[in-house]
Structure 1
């Protein structure tokens, strides 16, 4: 296993807005990092970004450092709107630059929501993503998250069926592309995640959702790779995000989150 120079295990979180987070969030990255810190496991989160997106502005991808608690390793490789469709061509260079030992990947909802990717093409894109990442690091370890439930999937049966089909493709890719040198394991991030309870807008995780995503990845690292311990259950009831953190600049908060 590769590790960074100070002995910490380098981990790159690859994701979209669900992992990137927005103004006022703790993020599931924070929950994951603090859990492993509490287990006295030294990790080094790596990647090209360290910021949130400023949800209070109309621009996507603008930097915002207003974390609910900034005292954690904030480096990551997540961006609002990102699909496998585009990240598959970029991941090799990022792995080569940041040299992670593990990729924790939570992508897919944008492939379906914005790009209309069908399950067969989704699988092809995911296979390319894995192959390209391995070109930079043949012994890279992958933990692939399943696509979370969103309010759209609750209301739209056809969309829900596409999500389910693509989650099945993620499982199939993990099973068929895993190797002893470069294992691929599924983190079933969707299993304990319910859009109505665990998002603040039908898609993006609230603090309760953050805990469940972090737990799914932590459980896999503990069970499959002996890195840390499973996330404790039952889940605590975390503090909520101040509503003003999500309100457009200069306007009052529309509702509590």
Structure 2
């Protein structure tokens, strides 16, 4: 059970705010939060991640938090590989306990393992999608959560657990699993060792970039429901996530193309990027004013035939999954002699 001091106010779960001595705010230890999950939590190159958005909102509100866990990395999106630190903005506490392909019932570190090692105040669990895909039943997942929570309490007495429903309600088994999480929370919650169910993020098609993994808007929604769940535990006053704007970064996050011509054949080239699955190439015929977009361009080049005497301009729009990343390249120009 947590008592969090924020700006001189003592917040206790289930109680209203109580004035606290100013010195208490200075002496308060950061809340240790373990974010346990799969690819939805780990993220991949070029992502902000919902972890970043949660950290930003909590720290902007004056809440001292320490994310803990055995990993700090993202998955390199293209080609897939663990170990990347290519966050959209790495200026946050990047520790976590999540990995692409991770299953609650699978091999590798478990909830109770990392709880014993890192002694968090709160475990946030957003996992189960891969288990359902591999045929694990919602009932079996509920039993696994019960076992892991019991072991975690033995390893770190007083630890609180926040269970986060999966947002993908169109996927077979997800609704039943989310219902099971609610049952687990109701059964295992206690005044001294809380088990709380977060609200479910309401995902639409634009909140994911490949039907599974969150886009920027999906990240905001996930972080918001986690923060609302943490508020029940006394860790925050509730989410402001959807109101916050992304920082403006110096890096453009798009490759810089070059263009050359041999005869009437134009070749546009650009460096490989590790965060996009394809490029949209915007082709502008500056002579006629006609502009078109070529979608789904793979690799690091695009070839077309131009018209003699025409000038062309090219821009790249990197795409991740089926959504543009928001990045726009500098322009490359060429004239056919």
| 1:139-218 to 2 correspondences below 5 Å | 139-149=158-168, 153=170, 159-160=171-172, 162-190=173-201, 192-194=202-204, 196-218=205-227
1:236 Cα deviation from its structure 2 partner: 5.2
1:106/1:147 contact within 8 Å kept: yes
Q: Structure 2: how far apart are the matches of 1:23 and 1:239?
A: 17
Q: Structure 1: how far apart are the matches of 2:108 and 2:188?
A: 16
Q: Structure 1: how far apart are the matches of 2:211 and 2:244?
A: 21
TM-score, reference length from structure 1:
0.85
In structure 2, the residue corresponding to 1:217 is in which secondary structure? helix
Check 1:236–1:41 CA distance in 2 against 1; reply closer, same or farther (3 A cut).
closer
Among 41, 48, 71, the residue aligned to 2:63: 41
Q: Structure 2: how far apart are the matches of 1:112 and 1:246?
A: 27
In structure 2, the residue corresponding to 1:13 is in which secondary structure? strand
Residues 10-19 or 83-92, more deviating? 83-92
In structure 1, the residue corresponding to 2:33 is in which secondary structure? strand
Post-superposition CA distance 1:17-62 (Å, at most 9, x none): 0000001001000000000011000000000011101111144xx1
| 1:12-27 to 2 correspondences below 5 Å | 12-27=34-49
Residues 239-248 or 140-149, more deviating? 239-248
Residue 145 of structure 2 is matched in structure 1 by: 126
Considering Cα pairs closer than 8 Å and 6+ residues apart, tell me whether 1 or 2 has the greater RCO: 1
Please state if 1:81 is matched with 2:92. Answer: no
Instruction: Name the structure where helix makes up a greater proportion of residues.
Output: 1
Query: Rg: which structure is higher?
Result: 2
Please state if 1:101 is matched with 2:102. Answer: no
Q: Structure 1: how far apart are the matches of 2:107 and 2:147?
A: 10
Q: Structure 1: how far apart are the matches of 2:240 and 2:211?
A: 26
In structure 2, the residue corresponding to 1:45 is in which secondary structure? strand
Q: Structure 1: how far apart are the matches of 2:113 and 2:138?
A: 26
1:6 Cα deviation from its structure 2 partner: 7.4
Check 1:8–1:239 CA distance in 2 against 1; reply closer, same or farther (3 A cut).
closer
Segments of 5+ residues of structure 2 without an aligned counterpart are 5-26, 255-272, 279-297, 301-317, 326-337
Residue 277 of structure 2 is matched in structure 1 by: 247
Q: Which runs of 4+ in 1 moved over 4 A?
A: 233-244, 252-255
2:116/2:156 contact within 8 Å kept: yes
In structure 1, the residue corresponding to 2:143 is in which secondary structure? helix
Residue 227 of structure 1 is matched in structure 2 by: 235
Post-superposition CA distance 1:222-250 (Å, at most 9, x none): 2x1222221127545658995752237x8
Post-superposition CA distance 1:188-232 (Å, at most 9, x none): 233x222x020111100011000000000111222x122222112
Q: Structure 2: how far apart are the matches of 1:88 and 1:125?
A: 15
TM-score, reference length from structure 2:
0.66
Q: Structure 2: how far apart are the matches of 1:204 and 1:103?
A: 21
2:194/2:233 contact within 8 Å kept: no
Residue 19 of structure 2 is matched in structure 1 by: none
Q: CA RMSD in A?
A: 2.7
